[in-house]
Structure 1
Amino acid sequence: MALVLPSELVVDRFLPTVRAMLATRLADRGMTQQEIATKLGVTQAAVSKYVSGESGGDDRFRDHPETVATVDRIADGLAGGEMDGYDALSELLALIRDLEDRGPICELHEEEMPALRGLGCDLCVRGLDPDVRAERDVLANVRTAARTLASIPEMAAAVPNVGTNVGMALPDARDETDIAAVPGRIYEIGRRIEIPANPEFGASKHVATAVLAARSIDPEVRGAVNVATDEALLEAARALGYDPLEFDADYEDRGEHLRDRFAERGSVPRVVYHQGAFGIEPITYVFGETAVDAAELVATLLEEATT
């Protein structure tokens, strides 16, 4: 994995672009190339390239509204004498902090370090605190679980028409925004499993509802996968010592209904299912302590069901 610091991108991509933008705007405001060079701390030859458009630069900064506004503000201040180098530096540092907070610098960082994609990375803003690590671990777990599902030979037949999803809750999850899942769900296309995107928090209301209901009874249960209800799979669960729990599909508040059913059982079964209703496809939820645990149980159940 390439190890790239955001500061490298600031130096290599952001700073040359902003200098070129400032040089052009200061020239438009009547300053000579030598005066511009003195203000920017570069050579007159560099200013000549900036002004002539030979310096290149990155369009994602050049076209970024906040960057444009900041550069215009600095150019006005330097040209009019209302700003000095200290003031300009202060403006640029504030801009960089904003661009590192899910802005263009963050986008560039993810391009240079693909391992950061889908992690909701905000190290530049918050640092590596326990909350960030927990979010990162949950997203990584769901990614692994999705790949596990895609590798199961029998999985294509188990994907319902509405699609499959796999989710996992943060340790102190309160609502669906604390549950990571795959946006757009996982689909079967041509007997192959398609995972459309990296997991995100708040990506699946249905899986989140099931996980939150389970956690209200057993906080250790944080992962779930939904598959099509199939009698062979339910029989496989029974054969392996799991006692599937049936619930009604058409309850208006499914979360409350699931909590009631779990409370009646006195625990959260690893397998719960419904047989569908008018306009509702039969669905089975497989639970685990993590998303990977749930996905691995799905693999075990499907293997048992087909032998």
Structure 2
Amino acid sequence: QEVAAVEGRITAVGGLPHASGMPAWGVSDHLARRVLEMRKYDAEINAAINFKCDAEVIEVVQKYCAEKGFLFGWVDRTKEPEEVAGPDGSSMPWKIKQLVTSSGGIPKLFYEGEGWGKEPLFVAIGSDAVEVAGIAIEIAQRYQQRPG
């Protein structure tokens, strides 16, 4: 109940983003746990957005981070210990610690690789929802403009 989120997913309808629900408190357990865990490392983190992850998106985001001077990171889910991988909700502290350790700080953008029964995903973090939405929009624009 400490974190507000858009209920459901944001998808493309007619080529434009469309939220399936309205912002509300307590509707995104996973993203809420991520924000709360990251705040233990940086109290300025108040917002996050996750989006699809594939090889093309990784390339676009890496270039974006290099241009913006943002730290880029990734969580290697294949190294996730069994004792935290199984129970729902218990892996977040491990994932964030692994991210901070492997990245040398808290990256503005990072992805989680595949794990057993887990799909890869990207996350952008920031001080507020406007900041992370802006990052997501810029990445989406660059993704659409890529050659090929």
Under TM normalisation by the shorter chain, which class is it? 0.7 to 0.9
What's the RMSD between the two structures over aligned residues?
2.2
Distance 2:29 2:77 in 1: 15
Query: 1:303–1:187: structure 2 CA closer, same or farther, 3 Å change rule?
Result: closer
Query: Which secondary structure state, in structure 1, belongs to the residue aligned with residue 40 of structure 2?
Result: helix
Deviates more, 1:281-290 or 1:226-235: 226-235
Look up the match of 1:261.
Answer: 98
Structure 1 moving runs of 4+ over 6 Å? none
Q: Does 1:293 align with 2:117?
A: no
Q: 1:205 to 1:224 in 2, by over 3 A?
A: same
The 5 A counterparts of 1:178-197 are 178-188=2-12, 191-197=15-21
Name the aligned partner's letter for residue 255 of structure 1.
M
2:91 aligned partner, one-letter code: R
Deviation, 1:256, is 0.9
Q: Determine whether 1:225 maps to 2:49.
A: yes
- When the two structures are superposed, what TM-score results if normalisation uses the length of structure 2? 0.75
- Is this contact kept in 2: 1:217–1:259, CA < 8 A? no
Alpha-carbon distance in structure 1 between the residues aligned to 2:17 and 2:138 = 17
Query: Aligned-pair distance for 1:303?
Result: 1.9
* Consecutive unaligned residues in structure 2, runs of 5 or more: none
Q: 1:211 aligns with which of 25, 31, 35?
A: 35
Give the percent of matched residue pairs that are identical in Structure 1 and Structure 2. Answer: 24
2:74 matched to which residue of 1? 246
User: Residue 182 of structure 1 aligns to which amino acid in structure 2?
Assistant: V
Whole-Å separation in 2 of the counterparts to 1:211 and 1:203: 13
Could you tell me which of 107, 121, 125 is aligned with 1:283? 121
- 1:24-103 equivalent positions in 2, closer than 5 A: none
Secondary structure, in 3 states, of the residue corresponding to 2:98?
helix
C-alpha deviation, 1:190, in angstroms = 6.2
Residues 191 and 182 from structure 1, CA distance in 2 versus in 1: closer, same or farther, beyond 3 angstroms?
A: same
Contact 1:216 / 1:259 at 8 angstroms: preserved in 2? no
Following TM superposition, by how much is the alpha carbon of 1:274 offset from its aligned partner in structure 2, in angstroms? Answer: 1.7
Task: Spell out, residue by residue over 1:202-226, the C-alpha distance to the aligned partner (whole angstroms, 9 max, x if none).
Answer: 1101111221122111111111111
SS at match of 2:50: strand
Give the letter for the 1:228 counterpart.
K
Relative contact order higher in (CA < 8 Å, ≥ 6 apart): 2
CA contact (8 A) 1:209 1:254 kept: no
Letter in 2 for 1:244: F
The residue aligned with 1:88 is none
Alignment gaps of 5+ in structure 1: 1-176
Match of 1:306 among 133, 144, 148: 144
Question: Quick one: which amino acid aligns to residue 286 of structure 1?
Answer: A
- Work out whether residues 51 and 123 of structure 2, in 8 Å CA contact, stay in contact via their aligned partners in 1: yes
2:110 counterpart (245, 249, 272): 272
Contact 1:273 1:283 in 2 (8 A): yes
